[in-house]
Structure 1
Amino acid sequence: MSEMLTVPPAWQRAPATLALLGLSILGFLLVYLPFPFSWVSYLTFTPFEIRGEMIRFGEMGGQYWRLLTPAFLHFGWLHIVFNGLWLWELGHRVELLLGSRMLLALFLLVALLSNGAQYLFSGPAIFGGMSGVVYGLLGFSWVAGRLRPAWALEPPRPIMLLMVGWLVVCLLGIVETLGFGAIANAAHLGGLLAGALLGLAVAWLAGAGRRGRSRL
């Protein structure tokens, strides 16, 4: 008698994506705790304190976790829902194909570069969100999927048009003009470019490894 193989559902095979999503939800909840800014100040790119109507920013010093933790902060329901859905959609596909370590490596590199880009562009400021990483996963999936069609990573054209269109709308300042608050455009663009370059590197290394094995 043959046994049927059961494949675990995607959420069980994508623990790293779920962990990042859980930390993002936790970061969102921290913003809404009593005295939220006393908590948030430990996770922003640079520490800050509020004195009356003024915000005073400090130095990062040796608190290197701040290079990554802004990615987990979310400042509204739409913010966490939008980023959470895209993080799952793009992240779990990368994880299922290339593994949890690859996804976590992508997160670390893209979060570092996108947060750094936003800081270089805006200077000391309160910014956060997983959207830089989301755009990094988009860029990675698009480039790696194009170069390695067998990976089936390339996002469908409607998704690419939607995400790139939203990026352009944000860059033009339309979202801020409509009163939805400041947008971390440098993080979005920096994440997209970082992800695309990482997709190029990973696809090239995969091809080089395959060519090397074929010569043995």
Structure 2
Amino acid sequence: MAAIFLVELATGAVRNDARLLRLGALPDSGEIGHEYWRLITFGFSHWDLTHLLLNSVLLLILGLIVERRAGTAWLLLVFLAASMASGAGILFKHQLWPSQGVSLGASGGLFGLLGAALVLAFRVPSQTKFARMRLIIVLAAGVTYSFFPGVSMIGHIIGLVVGTAMAFLIPRATARPVVADA
């Protein structure tokens, strides 16, 4: 994400819809033709430095939780699937109700990781109530943030649903507690 943000800086794309669109953001019309690669690139592009930093911190926190509990392959699979599914949902929503501006950011994938982390925390009997409560607080904060103007609630919801569903596919033998969460 940071490397892509450097490209955004170098090309003057930060906070510029037209240039961000050329770099892979989702268009406000919901029409991408055959540019399916946008379902991946939009999740790694960010509006500005604040957007990048917030998503990077959340990726670090949630990514570590999911990776420690389920492994790197599941971390990548959940993040990418949730991000791509949220992108598809955003495009569908934009076709029905065009928005004012491009859509981009890792939030759909992050909500997917949050959903997976919650499921894994409740599947591991030795997890403390405190560790579970922290994830529930992050979920509540994320849901609240979803109501802010310019934030894609549909992307967040779809990411959360996909990540939650995928966590049930992770074999129980793979799900393990994290000592640092205790």
Please give the range of the TM-score, normalised by the shorter of the 2 chains. 0.7 to 0.9
Cα distance in structure 2, aligned partners of 1:197 and 1:65: 24
Give the equivalent residue in structure 2 for 1:190. 158
1 or 2 for the larger relative contact order (CA 8 Å, sep ≥6)? 2
C-alpha distance after superposition, 1:96-140 (max 9, x if no partner): 332221211112211111111111122365111111111111111
Judged with a 3 Å threshold, the aligned counterparts in structure 2 of structure 1 residues 72 and 144 are, in CA distance, closer, same or farther, namely: same
Q: Give 1 or 2 for the bigger CA radius of gyration.
A: 1
Judged with a 3 Å threshold, the aligned counterparts in structure 2 of structure 1 residues 195 and 155 are, in CA distance, closer, same or farther, namely: farther
The match for 1:88 among 56, 60, 66 is 60
Give the equivalent residue in structure 1 for 2:109. 133
The match for 2:2 among 25, 37, 44 is 25
Judged with a 3 Å threshold, the aligned counterparts in structure 2 of structure 1 residues 194 and 81 are, in CA distance, closer, same or farther, namely: same
* Percent identical: 22
Determine if the alignment matches structure 1 residue 168 to structure 2 residue 144.
yes
C-alpha distance after superposition, 1:65-96 (max 9, x if no partner): 21111000111222111110010011022223
Q: Indicate if the aligned counterparts of 1:30 and 1:40 stay in contact, CA closer than 8 A.
A: no
Give the equivalent residue in structure 1 for 2:72. 100
| Deviation of the 1:195 alpha carbon | 0.9
- Listed as ranges, the matches of 1:46-85 within 5 Å are 46=27, 59-61=32-34, 63-85=35-57
Q: Indicate if the aligned counterparts of 1:27 and 1:73 stay in contact, CA closer than 8 A.
A: yes
Q: Which segments of 5 or more consecutive residues in structure 2 lack a partner in the other structure?
A: 174-182
Cα distance in structure 2, aligned partners of 1:83 and 1:121: 23
Aligned length: 164
TM norm structure 2: 0.76
Give the equivalent residue in structure 2 for 1:34. 11
C-alpha distance after superposition, 1:46-72 (max 9, x if no partner): 5xxxxxxxx8886331x3321111000
CA RMSD of aligned residues (A): 2.7
| Deviation of the 1:151 alpha carbon | 7.3
Give the equivalent residue in structure 2 for 1:200. 168
Q: Indicate if the aligned counterparts of 2:12 and 2:19 stay in contact, CA closer than 8 A.
A: yes
